[in-house]
Amino acid sequence: ADSVQAAEARKHLQQQSNLIANLLAEAMELETGLTREEEPARQARDEANEEYKKYREQHHDAEVRLRKGKDLSEEDRNELKRLWRQASKLCHPDLVADDLKEEANRMMVQLNQAKQRGDVKAIRSLVARLQQGFEPMMASDRLNDLERIRKKMAQVREQIDTLVNELAELEKEESWLLVSSLSNMEAYFAQQEKALKEVCASLEHQVSEAQLDPAA
């Protein structure tokens, strides 16, 4: 009976070891995905910074032009009106997602200021940004998502370490007396396997999140 019990315990330990191996593999896959994600996020952030720099330069150029009293040509005035109408539709607060309304309002302010200055280049730049679906402005949000996933991974690794240590303690026993002394061995291992499967499901969800991210 003891040998049968020991064999059963070894079987459950092997199942747990396999689950842990799968979890570690998925954790590494998620980390690899995050590493791939960092470069697009940095690129988006740099593009946003570059776009802002260009806007500031265009703003300055427009102010210089106005101070010199240079009027817009008829062609420029028509283009300004056309671009302004196009941009105002793209960033209208009633037409954008709730999480982008604040940014849309800021864009609308910039748009109206550019119109008042007669700054065609600035409006053209705003239209280009709006047509990209606010992507450059969401770079910081994407970086925040990466940090959130990293924190989740740290929590998962803590759970894995705890389970590995628990298995190590059990394997250090000179015999399987610890297991045989449990009133309900099946329930014990079922509980441990359930905990591992929950961790595995959490990791699978995170890996799926990373893969579905538009910047991946």
Q: Where are the domains of the chain?
A: 2-38+140-212, 44-138
Helix (H, G, I), strand (E, B) or coil at 215: coil
Q: Can you state the angle between helices 2-67 and 139-172, rounded to 10 degrees?
A: 160
pLDDT at 30 over 70: no
| Cα 153 from Cα 150, distance rounded (Å) | 5
- What does the pLDDT read at residue 135? 46
Q: Residue 88 — very low, low, confident or very high, per pLDDT cuts 50/70/90?
A: confident
pLDDT at 125 over 70: yes
Q: Which residue has the higher pLDDT, 118 or 145?
A: 118
| Cα 192 from Cα 200, distance rounded (Å) | 12
- What does the pLDDT read at residue 185? 58
Q: Which amino acid is at 207?
A: V
Q: Which residue has the higher pLDDT, 88 or 45?
A: 88
Gyration radius from the chain CA atoms: 29
pTM of the model: 0.31
| Cα 90 from Cα 84, distance rounded (Å) | 10
Query: What's the whole-number mean pLDDT along residues 173-197?
Result: 60
Q: Which of 83-87, 102-106, 139-143 has the highest mean pLDDT?
A: 83-87
Backbone angles phi, psi at 35, to 5 degrees: -65, -40
Mean pLDDT, all residues of the chain: 66
| Cα 197 from Cα 193, distance rounded (Å) | 6
- What does the pLDDT read at residue 9? 60
Nearest to 209 by CA among 33, 32, 21, 12: 33
Q: Residue 137 — very low, low, confident or very high, per pLDDT cuts 50/70/90?
A: very low
In the chain, the percentage of residues whose pLDDT exceeds 70 is 27
